[in-house]
Amino acid sequence: MLRAGLGRRSRCCGGLWRSPRPGAAGGSARALSAAAASPSPGSGGGARSGGAPPAGASNVKPLDGVKILDLTRVLAGPFATMNLGDLGAEVIKVERPGAGDDTRAWGPPFLGTESVYFLSVNRNKKSIAINMKDSRGVKLIKELAAASDVFVENFVPGKLAEMGLGYEDIKKIAPHIVYCSISGYGQTGPVVQRGGYDSVAAAVSGLMHITGHEVACLTHVAANYLNCKIEGKRWGTAHGSIVPYQAFKTKDGYIVVGAGNDHQFATVCKILNLPEVSKDSRYKTNTLRVQNRKELIDILSTRFSEKATVEWLQLFEGSGVPYGPINNMQQVFSDPQVLHNGLVMEMNHPTAGKIAVPGPGVRYSEFAVSHPKPPPLVGQHTVEILKSVLGYEDDAIEELLCTGAVAQHEVR
């Protein structure tokens, strides 16, 4: 386990799992795990709703004791480290003094001084504000790296190496480090000097080409091309090879309905009161429905437009056919299942007040992702980190603050 409060000791490796817990070794594990197995709470799979730790569980999280030095900004990196923080890791977010992560300014909307964009992906992290143009700042980052398990960054490839903070540099003082780089295109290759932007990456990698209306994560779409030269195309809300499987306009909105097999298709026809369609030989099998897509969809669309979404939802309930409304944000967050799954996470932010963000996507039986800490202000934890992680004394901290190598937010 990583020990907190290392003090001014020699640069020690992160320390995670270097001494495995006694019960985890060899044959004694079986006896120990049998003895330790607590009855699983609740019914079914034992998954918990809401955020409370399961009764009887010790709420030991998988990444307890893991220290992550987080130099990422914007979305991909922060989203990753936020999810790791949910699993118990301590995430130390390194930001430049003053503005910090660019996305703090990405609004409106703002809550207090913080953009909602920033708040949505930065919970459970501590912020240390370090001036990386200052050699003392760079030195600090190296010291923090030596005391961490993970170093993650998303600078343009080569940038950190120029500052002496590349993998080779960090590895020298911290050979145990798991150093992860996030970039637009990769670390080597013809276009690595380009920054990474989601829309551009989506365009270049083929996703944007295949999203949208016909008229105006690639797996099978890519494989179809690689093996059979079948080009990707846009299908609106429909599916290339399953008919019907798309959104239909209702009187007042949209409903997505799918018929994965002929039996489900018959059920759809029944619910829509279209007996002649279910008997029509042109639509008997999926292959035929794909071939005669246009006519069939026209018929179904006309019928769907005759009733309100709510009526259709009631009619499809319990039918076994896949269906669902296209929900806007308000509808998503009033959906009973969404609330049941604990997908709204609330916390108190020191200046923004009470905030709510989407919660974690996975639930575990043995521990809960609960009691989140709010996203930090820039440099909110600078002094705390210098003290507890690096063991700096007050006078050394004072000097760093005065010279501008680091900054501390007035809120702690």
Minimum separation from the CB atom of position 381 to a copy of itself (A): 22
Minimum separation from the CB atom of position 76 to a copy of itself (A): 11
Minimum separation from the CB atom of position 134 to a copy of itself (A): 23
CB-wise, 36 or 402, nearer to a copy of itself? 36
CB-wise, 122 or 408, nearer to a copy of itself? 122
Task: Give the list of residues 6+ apart from residue 320 with CB closer than 8 angstroms, or none.
Answer: 264, 267
Minimum separation from the CB atom of position 382 to a copy of itself (A): 26
* CA 150 distance to own-chain centroid: 18
Minimum separation from the CB atom of position 139 to a copy of itself (A): 21
- How are beta strands 150-153 and 245-249 bridged, if at all? unpaired
Cβ-in-10-Å burial (0-12, 13-18, 19+) of 400 comes to buried
CB-wise, 46 or 404, nearer to a copy of itself? 46
CB-wise, 5 or 109, nearer to a copy of itself? 109
Count Cβ neighbours within 10 Å for each residue of 291-321 and write b for 16 or more, e otherwise: eeeeebbebbeebbeebebeebeebbeeeeb
CB-wise, 31 or 411, nearer to a copy of itself? 31
CB-wise, 239 or 387, nearer to a copy of itself? 239
Say how far apart CA 359 and CA 366 lie, in whole Å. Answer: 18
CB-wise, 32 or 401, nearer to a copy of itself? 32
Say how far apart CA 231 and CA 291 lie, in whole Å. Answer: 18
Q: Are 121 and 41 in contact (CB under 8 A)?
A: no
Q: What is the dihedral of CA 119, 352, 89, 397, to 10 degrees?
A: 120
Q: Cα dist. 68→17, 78, 135, 383 in Å?
A: 15, 12, 22, 17
Minimum separation from the CB atom of position 400 to a copy of itself (A): 28
Minimum separation from the CB atom of position 7 to a copy of itself (A): 17
Say how far apart CA 102 and CA 388 lie, in whole Å. Answer: 27
Q: How many residues does the chain have?
A: 412
